[in-house]
Amino acid sequence: MKHFFCRICLAWCVVMVITLVVPLQSFQLKEQFAQGLPGQYVVALYQKHYILIRILAKEQQVVTVEELLVPAMRRPQGLSWQQWMAQGAPCATSHSLYRIDLTHGRLLSQEEKLCSEMTPWVQSFLTSLLNMPLEDVPVGNRRKIARTQLEWVPKLSVCGHPVQVSGFRVLWGIWPADQSVLAGRRVELYVPLPGEGYPSFFPTWIQVQGIDRGTISLVDGGA
């Protein structure tokens, strides 16, 4: 009996050592971003501003990304996002181009065609988001529809029309220490699973805890 308990203790110690030494597998959004195709774009709404992110080119693990920012109150009505881009993005307050190395999640170059006070924030936001270590949210910790036990999922639209998504991967992580207001805060993301008819390279919904109006949600997308 004594030898049996010794073996149990030894096995437990081995398990603990493996747990401490072997790093846990984590996911980074740059892996999802690598699935994006040239021409695909998403439009996110954050603090009364629309942020349009479009993939212009892709060569192996290097992508060229266009970012456009327009205040929600200034966006011309009656235009689809594709028409808005085709007309030169009227009323945009920020227009930047980035070349990003997705292997290392770093910014290779940037070109600022038009700047606003939010331009530096958007730049740091994108690179920090791509490199943040993420883990799957346990089913029991996921958001539920009010007064039910049904799991909540965000909606996704393409070219102004709702689409059926094959599913979402629910992730969370701690925002890196990038000296922004988000640093050290827990972030929850809903990333669409790959499917036909919608871009899946960017999260559909992002929630930052502890910040007023800390939700970033996609309002449209397409190619």
Question: What's the pLDDT score for residue 90?
Answer: 94
The model carries a pTM of 0.82
- Strand (E) positions, 60-162? 62-71, 94-101, 106-114, 135-136, 157-158, 161-162
Ranking 21-25, 192-196, 202-206 by mean pLDDT, the lowest is 21-25
Domain ranges in the chain? 21-222
Q: Cα 127 to the chain's mean position, in Å?
A: 10
Residue 25 CB: number of other CB atoms within 10 A? 8
What does the pLDDT read at residue 25? 55
